[in-house]
């Protein structure tokens, strides 16, 4: 999701439900975030990420959402969000939900 996307049409209804699951930050994602915040990677991990026993990092949580989601349901790191978020294709945005209306 992001600031200038069709998401804004849906956000009053979906409340950015796509930002509730824990998102994984790869090593590359962490490097990108560190450059963005002019920090080193350890600082980024300490401030924004949690380590999971499966040897992955994911974003800390804030009120059941990703830490980076703003109060108005925007991605606070849209330009440098992790690959998994960039690749995500929401079924609302593809028109999938509308196409199933009336289907039983």
- By CB under 6 A, name the binding residues for ligand SF4: 1, 7, 10-11, 14, 16-19, 23, 59, 66, 68-69, 75, 77, 81-82, 85, 90, 92-93
Least spacing, CB of residue 63 vs ligand SF4, in Å: 12
Nearer to ligand SF4, 22 or 40 (CB): 22
Q: What CA–CA distance (Å, rounded) separates 41 from 30?
A: 6
Nearer to ligand SF4, 34 or 90 (CB): 90
How is the beta sheet containing 49-52 ordered, strand by strand?
24-25, 56-59, 49-52
100: left (phi over 0), alpha (psi -120 to 50) or beta: alpha
């Amino acid at each position: 999701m992001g600031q200038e996307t069709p998401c804004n049409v849906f956000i009053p209804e979906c409340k950015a439900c796509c930002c509730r699951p824990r998102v994984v930050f790869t090593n590359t994602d962490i490097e990108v975030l560190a450059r963005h915040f002019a920090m080193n990677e350890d600082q980024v991990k300490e401030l924004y990420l949690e380590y999971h026993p499966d040897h992955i990092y994911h974003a800390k949580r804030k009120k059941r959402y990703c830490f980076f989601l703003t109060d108005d349901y925007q991605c606070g790191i849209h330009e440098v969000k992790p690959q998994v978020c960039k690749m995500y294709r929401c079924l609302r945005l593809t028109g999938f939900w509308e196409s199933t209306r009336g289907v039983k």
